[in-house]
Amino acid sequence: MYKVAKSYLHHEEDVADAMQETILTCFEKLDTLKEPQYFKTWMIRILINKCKDILQKNRELCLIEEMPETESHDMAQENFEFMELLHSIEEKYRTILILYYVEGFKIREIAELLDMNEHTVKTRLVRARKKFARECQDTGIYAGGQLI
């Protein structure tokens, strides 16, 4: 949940809020889940909607952009660089990369989660890989070979 929320939201407080609201909603609406084997998909869909709600609320408040908070000193430098690279990619590509590679969803499941055609998801995944590889090359992190 954290990685999906972080792909949408930049502030840790917003990520925590989205996860908390998602857990509460899942608990309250668990009786509406028709197929228990799709719990994770259902929960991630709720999380994405909560993230979008938070983004919309932040836009409406017209808050001044703050300096991004630094993560805990215990966080590995590679993870920090990875997250920085990930945030340099457009949201529509970043979300698909995280859902596919980090969360392990299949293309069909991602299409259902994001309410889009499977071919659109495949196309965005290919483009996301290329954009991510290009970002890695530009920053010198890319060591050659296939990145993803």
How many CA within 13 A on the CB side of residue 5?
A: 22
Q: Which pTM does this prediction carry?
A: 0.54
| pLDDT in the model for residue 22 | 94
10-62 pLDDT, tens digit each: 889 999 999 999 999 999 999 888 888 889 989 999 999 999 898 888 776 64
Residues of the chain with CATH 1.10.1740.10: 1-67
Residues of the chain with CATH 1.10.10.10: 74-148
CATH T-level assignment (fold) for domain 1-67: Rna Polymerase Sigma Factor; Chain: A (1.10.1740)
Instruction: Give residue for tokens 């970002």.
Output: 135
| pLDDT in the model for residue 146 | 44
Pick the CATH number of 74-148 from 3.30.70.120, 1.10.10.10, 3.40.50.620, 3.30.930.10: 1.10.10.10
What is the C-alpha to C-alpha distance for residues 85 and 128, in angstroms, rounded to an integer?
12
55-107 pLDDT, tens digit each: 888 776 644 444 455 544 444 555 666 677 777 788 888 888 888 888 888 99
* 3-state SS string for the chain: CHHHHHHHCCCHHHHHHHHHHHHHHHHHHHHHCCCHHHHHHHHHHHHHHHHHHHHHHHHHHCCCCCCCCCCCCCCCHHHHHHHHHHHCCCHHHHHHHHHHHHCCCCHHHHHHHCCCCHHHHHHHHHHHHHHHHHHHHHHCCCCCCCCC
| pLDDT in the model for residue 60 | 64
